[in-house]
Structure 1
């Protein structure tokens, strides 16, 4: 098994504390002791003392990212300075990952772990570059500040009032082999920055004079020390105690399309880490799902990805009653703590009269702790969502409008027919029409409008005085109110049942798909047949082209492509550029390609097929229709991939068993052959041995004729043996 590189992080509470200096100082010591150390990237704004420590260490040339997206490597060691402009556009220099992997030093120094790479690179973030270095067996030294940890982003933001865009997932920090805390007094740091005139590398830190205040630095220093102490405590804890604690606590965070849900996710991640407990992020789809704006859908997708990035299991549930759905899931899965967000204001009249989600959860779950995380009113980057137009919220369409008018007219005609036959209960026809309208139209608006129109029509045509509105007639008022309420309730219930039925059909279809795939894979034998079945079903489900790599393309293996007619660029999935992405997925056992932060310019979304830590293949789904942009579709793909993994593993074990059987049969045939020829070999050998022994022991007493006969027997037996051996070898 390939040896994994070791990661050491030099950890500080702000820019300028000396992380890069400490990293270079330790690297110089190793280099003087014969260690193969290279500098991959250093912050160009370091002080003169730090630059002095760079002397003598070999420097890997940087990659120049051209404005047009074409990159080239600098060849001089003086590459840390400004590379100039081209066509009026500034060139960006980045760490050259490919050169580092080709050079493969024992240790490489890469500054600024949380850095976002320039467009055109393979990975979006530098920590992804470092993960590739570690997977290649290269040790890495790097630096990071406390504000760059994703789970602590909100806390630091509340202190400094600065929004940090560049963050790393906490698992990078947690899985580091060593973390070295670099610490100085805040007063000393301020004096150092003022004396040297060093501008921090983070432009937003430098732009905001409130960041480097003594009070802020003291708080950041405290958080940093606490984070380092938590890491030491976690590493020293007994594994059995950790397991017992994890078994007793399980957290759940409720998320939505609000950007403030990210705050709840980070709080839950920090709490789960502190208690070493599992946690799950839950989103409940209800009838309001289709009314979400594109901005809200984007926030929801970001929140689900953030939860997965921080180590949560993401679950999407269906149900009209959000609180009841969450409570039912919590009881089934043994949730002990639930985290929900709390809005500081109620934005609609309806919401003022509804109980809060946390109150409903408290009443439904008596033994579960509810943690309420308030929204932050002073977040600078948050913008109130735009007011949605009625046409988007209520799904107005000419077809649904036409259906409503036709059904109301039909109900009126039938009611007139009933009146003509002296049947007085004509209001039932209008209530029936409201039910039908709610069933055949989208949303609540048509059922609600039909309820009011049916009451108006009934009052105008079928109540006295006829063909006039008289709402204040005591005889008609109660009838009209009851009819209106009945129509409204019936409309709402019909619409709700329709939405729940649609969700149930959607889930049933997914379950049916998984069942069909599982049933097909169970009876399918042969690697080619398994791949063909998988590609066939995946193209039907996602309506996109699929390519399947059963072996790493670096070995020369080509992916098996299944193309849909609408995807004209499907042949590009077999290009060397796409094969490179599949090779990366084989090596790193992570998703890559379109819709991810790695090889985001690829034409397909690539997912490894993993079983017990071994990559059995790689699936590539074309991104031309962006079907996998939806988190539900990605979850479905993961479930399908697990079924395919089981089938591939079963086929691998079957092939292995077949080889064992063949080897066993060969061994059995060899044993039978040896037993069959052993008698034929022993007989002449015994004759040769006896004749030769007789001649040697009785040479003086044997007559010449007997000697000649014995020698002749030896020759004949030897000739027979030669023929037998020749027959066996031929």
Structure 2
């Protein structure tokens, strides 16, 4: 049974909305205007509605998307006269809630829409968790938005407002929403006037007025909130002015790092770093150091850590999870390598204890390891919530909670101790001294620490080993006392050595596991990068990445790749069991993937958008252009922040591979286009000579006949007419060749292959050439059995005619032209042989080129530019065949081409 939280919109409606979004002509991004105030009741909604009436009067297509139903008469009087989108009704726990209808607004597609209360949290069942996400969709659709927000709803100011008012505000917006607003109008009234409005019941109902005056609406609180709001707006104006003046050199050089732990007080570090980065207009990073002790965290602590990382991501940080045994060394190494200028850590009140006598404070160790970074220490009053980013400074009570021993691990420990005791008895019976038996138990402790998980088993084994040694092997036997007081020192030293040894071995195992995990992640990234570097083709890239992601996360993966039309219907799925991945191919999941593609935002399980989906979807984007979407199945559990970071790095590699493939395709298209342009230039340069020569001959012969019609005898007239006919035939063949090669090179003609009898094609070509050269002799050699070849008979006939004409041109009039046809493997081989002068060494490099090099001509260019062999090569390649020309040892030349006998892909380009 699905949880109520998993209710999602109808996928058919969502896909329809996506299609409508794709079909919009305008691709512009809408403008956002925020009416900004320092408290409820200052008049934000009133000012927004007043300006809406002005825009409506100016002819703007405006609509009210949602206005909070206040009990404020002045505000309600401004609603009549404005077009309104009816709110959608959401049933939640038998209560009907009204929410902004995003899909109706997108369908209505106005120029300007009013959406009140930007920080509002939507009811469960709405596509987006927060209203500001609805506004982002409206802006991406090109719709301008008016909205309202108070200063206490800005995420980075949450802690500051809580300190002033003692009220924790849970509904907040990320700072980037405020910063990206195109216009912000501060709605300000005096704090005393606001309190008076509160007393008059113009803000809240009478039953809430007294409570509001006692808690939030005090004169001091309002004064401070008003100051913060003005400062926030002033900082924005200052930043815009500095950006315009180009005076951000100092800010650009700042780089802030915030340390994140499982403590809820880490949110304070994150917000402080976000405010500082905003003030300096610089980038910042949120880092959590995993030491391998994460298994000791309680479920609540794991949730807090995940929420802290999500908060940092929402506030615009680059989130990273580093792995290392020592937190201070790991942070310092990262800061020194990354050019971090400021590090934000937390500081709790230090507890007094024995460890504090020899242990340095975390911040002191960090300072000693840093090169140039400055450290900012934020304090909190909870002594148990250490912000030193180490997972080892826990209370004794929490330490005791880790002592949960499994039956399997306990059995291993008890078995090793039992075997050790048996061996010790045997050694004692053989005369081995008692102090040597202590070494046997020490070896047992080391072995137990090696084969069990955690510190508990090694510590327990250390204590039990000392007790067993005392009871079983030290006089008096089977008693916890000893006759020799010196044994007490032995017991104590043995216990200390056992404890230290087990702790070191356990720590080394944890560190070794961290190294292995780090190496595995690096190896996966290296393997993916290496495979993508040598992979060509979109399908191959998708197949490789799907396989690696599926194996790395051990989950089913779906990949939507962009197609030529700009959509993502092309799907590829990878899983160890294909049936396990079928749930990612439903219409619901496809709708989520399409939303991610259109909005360039993550969505799905574990996110604030379409969280009822069964998969987590991340866009593959480059410079805001979405190239595809990758989805990971989440029925086994949501994708945590560390896995998201890994997936983000993999997606960056995929984006680079896609970009490289696109550049390769464009480069190939450019090369082809350059070749086409080169051919066109050659044709244009040669057309005057190639057409002028025969036309001049025709014009001269015809003019001579017209001028000397009576004086020329019949023989002279016959010669002139024959010359005209010959020049006209040559001109026709030239034009046919020009048209054919141009059409095929430009891809406007397709090779329509049908199974033709090769002998008949040769016969038709031979009959046509004999009409033009009746005196030439031809010999034909064909197989006895009919040979069927997939071809375009008309084009292959033209190839044979051109080759025979070329042979006639370059061989004596009394020589024979041989035609051969035979079958070899899966190819039909055609050959034309002449016994003339052959091909010169200078002509070989340009044999099949149409006058591509200055002063060099093809072997068939005895007249004009000679593109006969060039068109032959083009037609043969369009059939998927090959062509070559060689000289015979006895003299003459052989031109041979092959055609595949199996029907294949049309290679015409």
Q: TM-score normalized by structure 2? A: 0.71
Q: Could you tell me which of 356, 367, 374 is aligned with 1:369?
A: 374
Q: Could you tell me which of 75, 89, 92 is aligned with 1:64?
A: 89
CA displacement 1:496-551 (0-9 Å, x = unmatched): 11111111111111111112222222222221111111111211121211111112
Q: Could you tell me which of 336, 339, 347 is aligned with 2:341?
A: 336
Counterpart CA distance in 1 for 2:463 and 2:143 is 72
Counterpart CA distance in 2 for 1:685 and 1:420 is 123
RCO comparison, higher one (Cα < 8 Å, 6+)? 1
Q: Could you tell me which of 394, 409, 431 is aligned with 1:400?
A: 409
Aligned to 2:589: 578
Counterpart CA distance in 1 for 2:734 and 2:320 is 73
Change (3 A) 1:194 1:347: farther
Deviation at 1:265, TM superposition (A): 0.9
Q: Could you tell me which of 563, 569, 579 is aligned with 1:557?
A: 569
Q: Is the 8 A contact 1:4 1:138 kept in 2?
A: yes
Change (3 A) 1:703 1:368: closer
Aligned to 1:263: 268
- 1:604 aligned onto 2:615: yes
Deviation at 1:464, TM superposition (A): 3.5
Q: Is the 8 A contact 2:27 2:142 kept in 1?
A: yes
Q: Could you tell me which of 46, 51, 56 is aligned with 2:76?
A: 51
Q: Could you tell me which of 278, 284, 290 is aligned with 1:273?
A: 278
Q: Is the 8 A contact 1:281 1:312 kept in 2?
A: yes
Q: Could you tell me which of 653, 662, 666 is aligned with 1:652?
A: 662
Q: Could you tell me which of 57, 71, 80 is aligned with 1:32?
A: 57
- 1:4 aligned onto 2:44: no
Change (3 A) 1:566 1:486: farther
Q: Is the 8 A contact 1:695 1:707 kept in 2?
A: no
Change (3 A) 1:654 1:554: closer
Q: Is the 8 A contact 2:332 2:370 kept in 1?
A: yes
Q: Could you tell me which of 42, 58, 66 is aligned with 2:67?
A: 42
Deviation at 1:375, TM superposition (A): 2.4
Counterpart CA distance in 2 for 1:13 and 1:439 is 60
Task: Describe the SS at the equivalent of 2:158.
Answer: helix
- 1:231 aligned onto 2:240: no
Deviation at 1:119, TM superposition (A): 1.3
Change (3 A) 1:317 1:556: closer
Counterpart CA distance in 2 for 1:423 and 1:175 is 80
Counterpart CA distance in 1 for 2:27 and 2:713 is 70
Task: Describe the SS at the equivalent of 2:448.
Answer: helix
466-475 or 294-303: bigger deviation: 466-475
CA displacement 1:419-445 (0-9 Å, x = unmatched): 344443222111111111111112111
Task: Describe the SS at the equivalent of 2:611.
Answer: coil
- 1:120 aligned onto 2:125: yes
Q: Is the 8 A contact 1:558 1:574 kept in 2?
A: no
Task: Describe the SS at the equivalent of 1:538.
Answer: helix
Aligned to 1:537: 548
Matches within 5 A, 1:32-181: 32-45=57-70, 47-67=72-92, 89-181=94-186
Task: Describe the SS at the equivalent of 1:415.
Answer: helix
Q: Is the 8 A contact 2:336 2:371 kept in 1?
A: no
Counterpart CA distance in 2 for 1:499 and 1:220 is 49
47-56 or 95-104: bigger deviation: 47-56
Change (3 A) 1:45 1:461: same
Change (3 A) 1:388 1:524: farther
Change (3 A) 1:387 1:193: farther
Aligned to 2:696: 686
Q: Is the 8 A contact 1:567 1:624 kept in 2?
A: no
Change (3 A) 1:290 1:239: farther
Aligned to 1:74: none
Counterpart CA distance in 1 for 2:635 and 2:334 is 35
Deviation at 1:660, TM superposition (A): 2.6
Counterpart CA distance in 1 for 2:283 and 2:156 is 15
Q: Could you tell me which of 635, 647, 651 is aligned with 1:637?
A: 647
CA displacement 1:12-71 (0-9 Å, x = unmatched): 001111111111222222221222222111111153322333333222222222459xxx
Counterpart CA distance in 2 for 1:482 and 1:193 is 74
Deviation at 1:719, TM superposition (A): 7.1
Q: Could you tell me which of 443, 453, 462 is aligned with 1:451?
A: 462
Deviation at 1:363, TM superposition (A): 4.5
CA displacement 1:148-179 (0-9 Å, x = unmatched): 00000111112222221110000000111111
Deviation at 1:684, TM superposition (A): 2.7
**CA RMSD of superposed structures (Å):** 3.3
Q: Is the 8 A contact 1:97 1:129 kept in 2?
A: yes
160-169 or 574-583: bigger deviation: 574-583
Unaligned runs of 5+ in 1: 69-88, 379-384
Counterpart CA distance in 2 for 1:205 and 1:573 is 53
May I ask how many residue pairs the two structures share in their alignment? 697
Change (3 A) 1:432 1:623: same
Change (3 A) 1:703 1:357: closer
Counterpart CA distance in 2 for 1:100 and 1:411 is 76
Deviation at 1:714, TM superposition (A): 10
Matches within 5 A, 1:429-468: 429-468=440-479
CA displacement 1:184-234 (0-9 Å, x = unmatched): 001111222332443289x99976841112111111101101111111111
Change (3 A) 1:197 1:409: same
Q: Is the 8 A contact 2:697 2:724 kept in 1?
A: no
Deviation at 1:609, TM superposition (A): 0.9
Counterpart CA distance in 2 for 1:565 and 1:200 is 60
Counterpart CA distance in 1 for 2:550 and 2:356 is 43
Deviation at 1:252, TM superposition (A): 1.9
CA displacement 1:58-112 (0-9 Å, x = unmatched): 22222222459xxxxxxxxxxxxxxxxxxxx332222121222222211111111
Larger Rg, first or second structure (1 or 2): 2
Task: Describe the SS at the equivalent of 1:619.
Answer: strand
Change (3 A) 1:50 1:129: same
Change (3 A) 1:460 1:106: same
Change (3 A) 1:132 1:627: closer
Deviation at 1:707, TM superposition (A): 12
41-50 or 182-191: bigger deviation: 41-50
